[in-house]
A = this chain, B = another copy of it.
Amino acid sequence: MSYGDVMNARVRSEERRSEIVGAALEVIAERGYRGASLAAVAERVGLTQQGLLHYFPTKDALLVAVLQERDRWDAVPDTRWRVDLLASLVEYNAMRPAIIQTFSALLGESVTEGHPARSYFTERYVQVRENMTAVLRAEYGDRLPSGLTPERTAPLLIAVMDGLQYQWLLDPDSVDMPGAFRDFLHLLGEPVE
């Protein structure tokens, strides 16, 4: 059946690409992007390095796919979010160290010159700050209990999430990431449950 077979081929190819992206996420978590070799990613999916390049013609193309994958899973919180959903997100993150490690390593690398993920992160943070501002405004109006505006609170909230991730990845037993984040929400004026 021509149509079905074509579709099967497409699906199979898409699945292969997904597998490769998944392997890339793992290898980047272990070695960072600069330290990740195509051969290591290929080996994890049972391909040669050259076989992998059939799906992603360059190493950067694979990174682009990794970042798109992130956008699919980790949607930037939008206006419909509520502040208490953020606490759930942090709790969820605490259950998936590998993926947090991947993107923490990438964020760290991205501040170096000419890093291929640099503009991705720069633009993402612009977006995340805007959306977080909207979430805070929806919840608190133009002033939080502290007197700060949503605009000035948003970067702090994001900084706490990112900064806690590094402390937690380095020393998970010493850092209660979700608890600390709830403490921060309490500082913002959320009632303690």
A167 contact from B32, B101, B125, Cβ within 8 A: B125
Comparing A14-22, A47-55, A152-160, the segment that makes contact with chain B is: A152-160
Distance of A80 from chain B, by nearest CB (Å)? 24
Total copies of this chain within the assembly? 2
Q: Please, what's the 1-or-0 string for A161-189, where 1 marks a CB less than 8 Å from any CB in chain B? A: 11110110111001100011001101110
Q: Is the CB of B121 within 8 A of A170?
A: yes
Distance of A178 from chain B, by nearest CB (Å)? 12
From known contacts A108-B104, A109-B32, A146-B186, infer whether A163 and B170 are also in contact, taking CB-CB under 8 Å. no
A89 at the interface (CB under 8 A from B): no
Q: Is the CB of B30 within 8 A of A171?
A: no
Interface size on A, residues (CB 8 A): 52
List of B residues within 8 angstroms of A161 by Cβ: 163
A107 at the interface (CB under 8 A from B): yes
A88 at the interface (CB under 8 A from B): no
List of B residues within 8 angstroms of A188 by Cβ: 187
A105 at the interface (CB under 8 A from B): yes
A105 contact from B35, B112, B186, Cβ within 8 A: B112
Q: Please, what's the 1-or-0 string for A122-139, where 1 marks a CB less than 8 Å from any CB in chain B? A: 100110010000000000
**What 11 new A-B contacts, CB under 8 Å, besides A118-B170, A158-B167, A159-B162?**
A31-B112, A34-B34, A101-B111, A105-B111, A122-B170, A122-B171, A126-B171, A129-B174, A146-B186, A153-B183, A159-B159
The residues of A with any CB-CB pair to B shorter than 8 Å are: 29-32, 34-35, 101, 104-113, 118, 121-122, 125-126, 129, 146-148, 152-153, 155-156, 158-164, 166-167, 169-171, 174-175, 179-180, 183-184, 186-188, 192
